[in-house]
Structure 1
Amino acid sequence: MAEAVTGPEAYDAGPYVPQRAGLEELREAAAGCRGCPLYGPATRTVFGSGDASARVVLIGEQPGDQEDRRGLPFVGPAGRVLMRAVDEAGIDPTETYVTNAVKHFKFALTGRGKRRIHKPPSLRETAACKPWLDAELTLLDPEVVVTLGATAGKALLGSGFRVTRERGVPMAGPPGGAAPGGPGPVLVATIHPSAVLRAEDERERVYAGLVADLRVAAGALR
């Protein structure tokens, strides 16, 4: 296992990512990642999960409280919203792989330190974790990549990405993949499913927008 680095280069997971590794080897290696300070307070690394031959990869922001405790992505309320929307949009949930741009839970403690409140990862933390996401996408070589929310979109499209401007529009996905020279994935951006839960009075409308964007992703499948 690589040793944790310090100084300006501390924000980089690259030294921890094994070369020519399969998904299980990546998952095992990620458990020991010390590529940024987020590993310290978090319970564990939360790596991606799903079908190794997935046609669709769904990328969120970071694990939440339940994901951090259980070690799996999208197992909380937002995950349930996402899988319902995926199915309603015509994408087979068994042909999906879910992961996050950042693999550790970033939070603040409230209520006498007993409650962990989500804090968005910084651009620096997102960039530090990107070698893991790149390795996942290279191995999976999906037909479609769906970014869920601003952090995931910025991880792949840069800091100028805006969900409100670019959601629901098919665009060229990240280069690379398991088949050099082959067609890259189609990328479709949409909101994070947690936005549906926060919508309250407009929940049905926001959920319908998520489903509509996912239908665009379903239509891009070859």
Structure 2
Amino acid sequence: MPKSVDSQELSGAQQYLPPRLDLTSLQRAASGCRGCTLYQDATSTVFGRGDTGAPLMLVGEQPGDQEDQAGQPFVGPAGRLLQRALAEAEVDAKMTYQTNAVKHFRFKRVGKRRIHEKPGRTEVVACRPWLIAEIEVVRPHVVLCLGATAAQSLLGSTFRVTAHRGEVLPLPGALHLQLQPEPVLMATVHPSALLRDRSEHRQENYQSFVEDLRRAFAAGGRMFQGAHHG
């Protein structure tokens, strides 16, 4: 069982949360967030996409270059792979809420290009109140973390996707979410890792990702049935 997130880390963007929690208010408030320095160079605040009540929430690391330009999550190469994998898993994208642990693009400039840089722990912790608020508003049955950054945002910095991939995990009590039924967490790889995969097992690894999506969506369905027949 992974170590739970430290409750003393829960801070950062909390002061920017609106008094009323709904997706429209959250997105508007997030556009003015100054909880870390990433807003200074980013083009836009990239908030989540989807509807309240989506049974499956997908959480990535951060927006990439194309997402930053478009102001929408998962529209770049990794996002296109994710949408294809969802279709192969027979998961309707309209049944998902897609977001990131960090809402601004962290990058370094190389000539005219903006090269992705992994967000630091400071940025992840600073941005976490937005993600927690999204979970509270959307009320998903399953939160599927795509990659280590997303998983560690909710499960603590010692969490390893390789050790717990595919496991159904409870929400850490330190997050203080008051939801019934309470969502569960699962973790898998980020689709960008599949794009970088040049091994002979590339297709097999992709199919494992598709199966993770299918399994997470099925777990959400079981939770829904249990909540209505318990």
The TM-score normalised by the length of structure 1 is: 0.89
Residues matched between the structures, number: 208
- CA–CA distance in structure 1, aligned partners of residues 105 and 157 of structure 2: 21
Aligned residue number for residue 21 of structure 1: 21
- CA–CA distance in structure 2, aligned partners of residues 24 and 43 of structure 1: 20
What's the CA shift for 1:176?
5.6
Structure 1: segments with no counterpart, 5+ residues? 1-10
* Aligned pairs (5 A) from 1:37-52: 37-52=37-52
Moved more, 84-93 or 141-150: 84-93
CA contact (8 A) 2:18 2:26 kept: yes
- CA–CA distance in structure 1, aligned partners of residues 143 and 218 of structure 2: 12
- CA–CA distance in structure 1, aligned partners of residues 120 and 49 of structure 2: 24
Distance 1:190 1:181, change over 3 A: closer
- Greater fraction helix: 2
- CA–CA distance in structure 2, aligned partners of residues 150 and 104 of structure 1: 17
Distance 1:24 1:70, change over 3 A: same
Structure 2: segments with no counterpart, 5+ residues? 1-10, 222-230
CA contact (8 A) 1:89 1:214 kept: yes
Percent identity over the alignment? Answer: 54
Aligned residue number for residue 8 of structure 1: none
- CA–CA distance in structure 2, aligned partners of residues 86 and 173 of structure 1: 24
Deviations 1:134-162 (A, max 9, x none): 11000011111100000000001001110
Aligned residue number for residue 61 of structure 2: 61
Output the aligned Cα RMSD: 1.5
* Aligned pairs (5 A) from 1:1-222: 12-110=12-110, 112=111, 114-173=112-171, 180=178, 182-201=180-199, 202-222=201-221
What's the CA shift for 1:200?
2.3
Distance 1:140 1:181, change over 3 A: closer
What's the CA shift for 1:52?
2.0
- CA–CA distance in structure 2, aligned partners of residues 189 and 44 of structure 1: 27
CA contact (8 A) 1:58 1:145 kept: yes
CA contact (8 A) 1:188 1:216 kept: no
Q: What is the DSSP-based 3-state SS (H/G/I as helix, E as strand, rest coil) of the residue aligned with 1:49?
A: coil
Task: Write out the 4+ residue segments of structure 1 that deviate beyond 3 Å after TM superposition.
Answer: 173-177
What's the CA shift for 1:181?
5.7
What's the CA shift for 1:88?
1.8
- CA–CA distance in structure 2, aligned partners of residues 182 and 85 of structure 1: 29
Residue 205 of structure 2 aligns with an amino acid whose one-letter code is V
Distance 1:27 1:107, change over 3 A: same
Residue 162 of structure 1 aligns with an amino acid whose one-letter code is R
The TM-score normalised by the length of structure 2 is: 0.86
CA contact (8 A) 2:12 2:125 kept: yes
Residue 183 of structure 1 aligns with an amino acid whose one-letter code is P
Deviations 1:109-151 (A, max 9, x none): 11x2x00000000111100000100110000111111000000
Bigger relative contact order, structure 1 or 2, given CA contacts below 8 A and separation 6+? 2
What's the CA shift for 1:173?
3.2
- CA–CA distance in structure 1, aligned partners of residues 148 and 100 of structure 2: 12
Deviations 1:174-220 (A, max 9, x none): 5665xx46221121100000011000244212211211211220220
- CA–CA distance in structure 1, aligned partners of residues 203 and 48 of structure 2: 28
- CA–CA distance in structure 2, aligned partners of residues 160 and 51 of structure 1: 31
CA contact (8 A) 2:188 2:209 kept: yes
